[in-house]
Amino acid sequence: PPGPPTANAGDGGSFRRRRFAALALALAGILLVWFLVAFFQPFAGDGAGEGSVTVEIPEGASTGEIASILDDAGIVSSSRLLEWRLKLAGKSGDVQADTYALASGMSYGAAIDALTQPAGPSGPLSVSIPEGYDRRQIADLVLPEGVSSDEYLELTKTAPKSFDPRRYGAEGKSLEGFLFPATYELPANEAQRVPSLVEQQLEAFKDNIAKVDMSYAQKKNLTVYDVLIIASMVDKEVQVASERDDVAAVIYNRLSQGIPLGIDATTRFETGNYTEQITQADLAADTPFNTRLNAGLTPTPIGNPGLAAIKAAARPANVDYIYFVVKPGTCGEHSFTASEAEFEKLAAEYQAALETEGGSPTECPE
């Protein structure tokens, strides 16, 4: 008769193989899900990223090299995935050699769109920011066609995460005072121009403020931000470069004596009136920017000062002046004095010339 059934030596091996196959299939599924999520979804938020990161794509860069540049800059987290996305989208040949202002942690799609949007018709351009101009003046009077004024005002309203005004003594996050005036080269891609400009201005500020000796101002218990506020007033008041140190000295002397600064440019900044005569109502308004009524500095700078004004504000002339008045018949030159009687005499002469001329008695070349 047949004996009892015996165990098949191959049954255990077959079970182990099936279990291994199941685990491998599950792992492959997990990896596939991860790949699909990473491949098709933004890394954070809506995929726009944060801050501003400038990268340069050189002439002749391959798709892999372009992807590596963005990966190294922290714009995306995988150069390989970005390279695949560019190729699958049929856009690997659409990225032009240029400078691009992107953001940290962008989605692949957002990064690809930023790299492949067509450039504006004017191509690369340069923009020169005058010393002392505030944000609104830059947006309204300086930015050329193809550089959005509204976008500039929006991006400069508050500081990006990559730049902290409080490091310099500011209480808020306004970028007024930190948008360094200079000439900047902007990329051909219109969508990148404003982010690139703002980033370059902030980098230029950091580079230039490091050149300024703040030791004198610090001895007067002034912060770097206080110096920027003073410098912004200097740039608004001075037409003659040699007067910067003297105007800064007047501000220091008035601060130390508790005298209101009496600088009407602060009221013009608050009201946005740079061309018309200031009204008595404006001068009577009790606001933090009315330096006729209130002693001390304004809450923020009233413009974006250049290096010369910042240096003057950090170390003013060693003089006792507390007044300055425009000289009639000059292009904004001032008379300086420490005497109230002399000031009243100079002010009367200016007022008489103002009435005789029917307007500003200054003469500047066209």
Q: Assess whether 260 and 178 both reside in one domain.
A: no
- Amino acid, single-letter form, for residue 25: L
Indicate the DSSP class of residue 73.
T
Q: Assess whether 148 and 107 both reside in one domain.
A: no
Q: Assess whether 234 and 202 both reside in one domain.
A: no
Q: Assess whether 296 and 200 both reside in one domain.
A: no
Contact (CB, 8 A) for 107 and 170: no
User: Residue 77 maps to which CATH number?
Assistant: 3.30.1490.480
Q: Assess whether 150 and 230 both reside in one domain.
A: no
Q: Which residues of 355-364 are buried (b: 16+ CB within 10 A; e: fewer)?
A: eeeeeebbee
The pLDDT assigned to 255 comes to: 98
Strands (E) located in the chain:
50-57, 98-104, 125-128, 183-186, 323-326, 334-337
* Residue 133 falls inside a structural domain: yes
* Residue 234 falls inside a structural domain: yes
* Residue 92 falls inside a structural domain: yes
* Residue 33 falls inside a structural domain: no
Other C-beta atoms closer than 10 Å to the C-beta of 166 total 11
Number of domains observed in the structure of the chain: 3
Domain that holds residue 132: 125-209
Burial degree of 213 (CB within 10 A; 0-12, 13-18, 19+)? exposed
The pLDDT assigned to 109 comes to: 82
* Residue 173 falls inside a structural domain: yes
The pLDDT assigned to 10 comes to: 47
Q: Is the pTM of this model over 0.95?
A: no
Q: Which positions of the chain have pLDDT values less than 70?
A: 1-17, 31-49, 51, 118-123, 358-366
Last residue of a domain, one of 186, 209, 232: 209
Last residue of a domain, one of 116, 134, 154: 116
The pLDDT assigned to 258 comes to: 97
Structure tokens of 164?
Answer: 């902290």
Indicate the DSSP class of residue 241.
G
